[in-house]
A and B are shown apart, each in its own frame.
Chain A
Amino acid sequence: SQQGEEDPQALSIQEGENATMNCSYKTSINNLQWYRQNSGRGLVHLILIRSNEREKHSGRLRVTLDTSKKSSSLLITASRAADTASYFCATPDRGTGRRALTFGSGTRLQVQP
């Protein structure tokens, strides 16, 4: 399986609700990043959390990192229709020495107005 695996694969919520997406990874990391992709567009960086951090906030986004469980979560509070997109976690794969990011399949978030 992949270095970064997002869960769930798809999520549908109503505007105003919170959305939580999870990510698991396998090897040791020095940071974990979350990206968003709107349909037909490129990926946009949302937030980076370092391995010595447990939680980070950016606007309506809250990211947690649990290195003991090799997992991270992305919480979007008070969701809006414009948050509809695919969300990916990504990590530099220290296990392979790769200096690029390894992505998973993403979580497709649909926010109903």
Chain B
Amino acid sequence: EAGVTQFPSHSVIEKGQTVTLRCDPISGHDNLYWYRRVMGKEIKFLLHFVKESKQDESGMPNNRFLAERTGGTYSTLKVQPAELEDSGVYFCASSLQGAETGELFFGEGSRLTVL
């Protein structure tokens, strides 16, 4: 069974440009999460989908970030326009039951470097 896959693994862009990160969760997992780790600091929650609905987007830093999960399958996270402080590793995770009862399965992450 395929795990959580993320694309691209690494992206280098100029400040002001746009980047779209993609996450394919484990098939059948209704819960999909986005997290970000900046400069070795804590892993910060961004948002949580249940199927195609945004369950919680309280962690999204500002309106330059837009996440979608059309059809409840894969998800995209777009940053537009990118700023220097957006650099970091963006992790996607999925789960069957939700964090209250079970584990999250993480992808390898997408490293974003904004120059």
User: How many B residues, CB 8 Å from partner?
Assistant: 28
Among the interface residues B99, B104, B106, which one has the most CB atoms of the partner chain A within 10 A? Answer: B99
Q: Is the CB of B99 within 8 A of A99?
A: yes
Q: List, in ascending order, chain B residues with CB within 8 A of A44's CB.
A: 106
Answer whether A42 and B56 are a contact pair too, CB < 8 Å, given A100-B45, A102-B45: no
Question: Can you list the 5 inter-chain pairs with the closest CB atoms, starting with the nearest?
Answer: A103-B43, A42-B106, A45-B103, A43-B106, A105-B42
CA distance A70 to B98 in the complex (A): 22
Q: List, in ascending order, chain A residues with CB within 8 A of B4's CB.
A: 42
Q: Is the CB of B42 within 8 A of A2?
A: yes
CA distance A98 to B98 in the complex (A): 11
Chain A nearest CB from B93 CB (Å) reads 8
Q: Contact string, B80-110, partner A, CB cutoff 8 A, digits 1/0?
A: 0000000000010100001111111111110
- A101 near B: Cβ within 8 Å? yes
Q: Is the CB of B42 within 8 A of A101?
A: no
Q: List, in ascending order, chain B residues with CB within 8 A of A45's CB.
A: 103-105
Chain A nearest CB from B70 CB (Å) reads 20
Chain A nearest CB from B8 CB (Å) reads 14
Interface of A with B (CB < 8 Å)?
A: 2, 30-31, 33, 35, 40-45, 48, 88, 90, 92, 96, 98-106
- B74 near A: Cβ within 8 Å? no
CA distance A69 to B99 in the complex (A): 22
- B48 near A: Cβ within 8 Å? yes
CA distance A33 to B102 in the complex (A): 9
Which B residues, 54 to 85, have Cβ-Cβ distances below 8 Å to chain A? 55-56, 58
Chain A nearest CB from B79 CB (Å) reads 20
Q: Is the CB of A33 within 8 A of B103?
A: yes
Answer whether A31 and B43 are a contact pair too, CB < 8 Å, given A42-B106, A99-B55: no
Chain A nearest CB from B98 CB (Å) reads 5
Q: Is the CB of A42 within 8 A of B108?
A: yes
Q: List, in ascending order, chain B residues with CB within 8 A of A41's CB.
A: 108-109
